[in-house]
Every structure is written in C-alpha cells, then in structure tokens.
C-alpha cells in the first residue's frame, strides 16, 4: 500500500472521517476541521503505524495538508516516493458544452490554475454520463482538487456525477450558490449549463467555487451533515 493510501487510512481512523472524503490537498484545519491538538494525536498514531520514532517538531510545523504529512513520512519510511500530481481543476463537457469548456479552460489557465481537460475535443454527439464519470473518478481519487462539468442545462451532469462514490456535485446558476455549495456542503464538483449561464456568470461561479473553503461549522454541524451524505452512499439500497 502506498504511503498516501495508508496515511489516509490513519487519518480516517483517528478523526472518524470517511477515507473517500480525504485527499492529498486537504488542509487539516480548514478542510478537515481538526484542531492542533487533534493533529498531535494523529502524529502519535502515524509514528506508531509507520514505526518512525518521534518526528522532529520543526518539521511538523510545516505540515498543513495531508500531502505535507505524506512528504514528511516517505523519506523516513525508506520506500520509494509515489508522485501524486494534483491539478487544481478537472473539467469535462458534453457536445452542448464543448465550446463553453474551451473558453473556460483558457480563462482558468489565465488565472494560473492547472487544468486537466478530460474532453471532448470537438462537438460530435457524446453521452454526458461518460464525461461526468471521468471527472468524478479523478476528483474522487484526489488527482484534482475540484471538478467542473458542463452540459446544456447542467442537470444531466449533476445527476450522473452524484452517482459516483465520494462526489458531491452542485448545479449552480450564480456565485452565491457556488460559494455556499463549498462552504456548507463541501461540494467538490461544480456543474454548469452552457445554454442557461453566460460566460461571465460562469466565471464568477467558478471563481467563488475555487476560492471558498469548506466551513465545518463552529459546532461541526456542516461536517456532520456531509458525513450523513457519505453514510447514505455507503448504505446504498439496503434497508435502514
């Protein structure tokens, strides 16, 4: 098992957060909603699991994300490092949104964002669930921080993406919705309708989505509610 996968397992165990909700770019305080004392308890568990001895305090001060912790552990573990390239955005569309996607990709690059364009490259008719799955899988594996999906209305993409374990796709039409989907719901895929939302509004939605962090809530209520969504996914069609 890779260091990243094992670290995510340990984090899931210590903080009781589903592993599928944890990615290499997640920040301990802002995204996972844990305190500095919680991180100390995590470090003790990591030292035990990996047999590392006591990790140096000065190195721990720079550990802000899951990826930072992995980078600290790998050389001490004495195993080859697994390179995990994480893009800012994974994006895809169907034939109705392919031109819109091209314009948004160019704009994202101008904003210094790394973008993984998962197609299509032309306007030939395609099935939107195939492209929703491409983005959903990349985001769920932690290979992109967030996803963007575009079809004519955005509805089909949002329905399809939400069938993928670990994906919380939000169909939005304005930046307030986009920001709230991140802040309260920890949405990780933004869905847009190319036939309903103009380019300027779409860019405003994307900017709000990319810059708004998840807020667990001062009493943890938002994290608790997102965890309930994961429980529903895990339960599937079985009886409660």
**Alpha-helical regions (H) of the chain:** 3-15, 36-50, 57-60, 66-77, 98-110, 128-140, 155-161, 175-183, 199-211, 221-235
151 a catalytic residue: yes
For residue 168, which phi and psi values (nearest 5 degrees)?
Answer: -125, 95
DSSP of 156-175, one letter per residue? HHHHHHTTSTT--EEE-SSH
Question: Which residue among the candidates 95, 105, 109, 184 is catalytic per the annotation?
Answer: 184
Crossing angle for the helix pair 199-211 and 98-110, to the nearest 10 degrees: 50
Cα–Cα distance measured from residue 156 to residue 219, given in angstroms and rounded to the nearest whole number:
35
Question: Which residue among the candidates 95, 105, 151, 191 is catalytic per the annotation?
Answer: 151
105 a catalytic residue: no
Q: Which two tokens stand for residue 50?
A: 């990996």
Positions marked active-site: 151, 184
């Amino acid at each position: 098992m890779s260091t990243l996968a094992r670290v995510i397992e340990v984090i899931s165990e210590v903080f009781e957060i589903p592993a599928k909700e944890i990615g290499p770019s997640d920040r301990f305080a802002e995204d996972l909603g844990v305190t500095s004392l919680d991180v100390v308890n995590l470090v003790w568990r990591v030292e035990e699991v990996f047999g590392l001895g006591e990790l140096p305090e000065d190195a721990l001060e720079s550990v802000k994300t899951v990826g930072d912790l992995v980078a600290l552990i790998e050389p001490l573990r004495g195993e080859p490092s697994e390179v995990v390239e994480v893009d800012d955005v994974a994006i895809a569309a169907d034939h109705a949104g392919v031109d819109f996607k091209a314009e948004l990709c160019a704009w994202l690059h101008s904003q210094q964002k790394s973008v993984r364009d998962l197609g299509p490259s032309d306007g030939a008719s395609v099935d939107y669930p195939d492209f929703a799955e491409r983005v959903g899988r990349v985001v769920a594996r932690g290979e992109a921080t967030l996803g963007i999906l575009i079809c004519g209305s955005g509805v089909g993409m949002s329905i399809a993406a939400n069938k993928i374990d670990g994906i919380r796709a939000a169909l939005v039409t304005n930046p307030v919705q986009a920001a709230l989907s991140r802040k309260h719901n920890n949405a990780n895929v933004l869905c847009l309708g190319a036939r309903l939302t103009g380019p300027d509004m779409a860019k405003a939605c994307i900017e709000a989505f990319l810059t708004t962090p998840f807020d667990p809530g001062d009493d943890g209520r938002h994290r608790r509610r997102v965890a309930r969504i994961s429980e529903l996914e895990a339960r599937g069609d079985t009886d409660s």
